[in-house]
Amino acid sequence: MIILWNLRERVIEWRPFKKKESLHGDSQWASEKDIRKAGLRSKKGLLLGKDKRGYFIADGFQHALLFAPTGSGKGVGFVIPNLLFWTDSVIVHDIKLENYEITSGWRERQGQKVYVWNPAQPDGISHCYNPLQWISKKPGQMVDDVQKIANLIMPEQDFWQNEARSLFVGVVLYLLAAPEKVKSFGEVVRTMRSDDVVYNLAVALDTMGKIIHPVAYMNIAAFLQKADKERSGVVSTMNSSLELWANPLIDTATASSDFNILDFKRRKLQFIRLLKQTRVPTQEPYDPNKVLSAAASKDKVNNEGNNALEGPNSVDYPAETKTEDAVYDESDEFADEDIDDEDIDDKFEDDDDGFDDERSDDGFDDEEEEDEFEDEDI
């Protein structure tokens, strides 16, 4: 009986196909077979790197996170090559605007529209985006959209913030129903900072009570019923949260919309978000990426005048990048053609004259760019 039990143990231990365990693990460098199996030899996608066999291109929904010290070449070695190689829409947070200056000309020549949202630009030259313009027209969804925006601007959960959010929702819904009013954050600020805001809101309820949304009537009426000191605290809290839009530059850049966020799916667009901290008031700005919601396409670029913003709904496209509107065609050559390694080499190799010519056509000079930004703190 003991002999049979010992034989059983030996049979169990003898597994000829069992993978041998390694003392230091089994990690190894990927072979070409492993690379292709991982889908890193695609023709289109995210450009990750290169070896002697070609480029590593990930065609999928992978997330890429790049860690490297300041000045180590993250932009020129990864961001700029991908902006030149990526064929679909892209949103870039470009503090120095160098990615725009190098790649916008190329992307426009491929039939893409390029927008620069720079609300703190001193000369006022910027494209515009107004989240309030894309609030749903459906009564139920309308309130939900406004409440989401209010929670982004006034996120704290204390008494005064709660009351200020409620009043903000009411005022925005009132402005949406008033045909003569501008639907913007700046108009909310002007409404709340009028000479007698309590009287003006009371008149609005009296004259438009049957027109405005019931939630607007309820929230504004609740505000008017408060005691004077409590009303004063609510108004102060709301005005403090909206202080950013008291800046005329911010007001103008968010008073209208030059693009439809849904076009990022339907067409090929490049959106440059430029927000220099040295140009922006100390009040923390809202994040436009969280409130980009759209309904219809719109293009209101004003190409007349002297590149200056003249009003809350006027914007001028930067002179050096003005182009005719490009209509995206599904048969676009750039979108459909297969790009081989030689084509990529023509775009990205440092010793290739074609890439240098592309940059020179855009009016970009390496030495001038370095001198312009070397002393700037980010």
Q: Tell me: the pLDDT tens digits for 161-172?
A: 999 999 999 999
- Are 295 and 142 a contacting pair, CB within 8 Å? no
Paired with 8 in beta bridges are none
Percent of the chain's residues with pLDDT above 70: 66
Per-residue pLDDT band at 373 (split at 50, 70, 90): very low
- Are 312 and 184 a contacting pair, CB within 8 Å? yes
* Average pLDDT for 346-374: 42
Phi and psi at residue 37, in whole multiples of 5°? -65, -30
Q: What is the Cβ-side half-sphere exposure of residue 65, based on CA atoms within 13 angstroms?
A: 0
Lowest mean pLDDT among 22-31, 102-111, 269-278, 336-345: 336-345
The pLDDT score that the predictor gives to residue 292 is: 42
- DSSP per residue, 308-344: ---STT-----GGG--------TT-HHHHSPP-HHHH
* Average pLDDT for 100-117: 91
pLDDT at 32 over 60: yes
- Are 57 and 41 a contacting pair, CB within 8 Å? yes
The pLDDT score that the predictor gives to residue 136 is: 92
The pLDDT score that the predictor gives to residue 97 is: 87
Percent of the chain's residues with pLDDT above 90: 44
The pLDDT score that the predictor gives to residue 87 is: 86
Phi-psi region of 143 (alpha: psi -120 to 50; beta: other; left: phi over 0): alpha
Output the CA–CA distances (angstroms, integers) from residue 25 to 16, 20, 22, 218, in the order listed: 20, 10, 5, 66
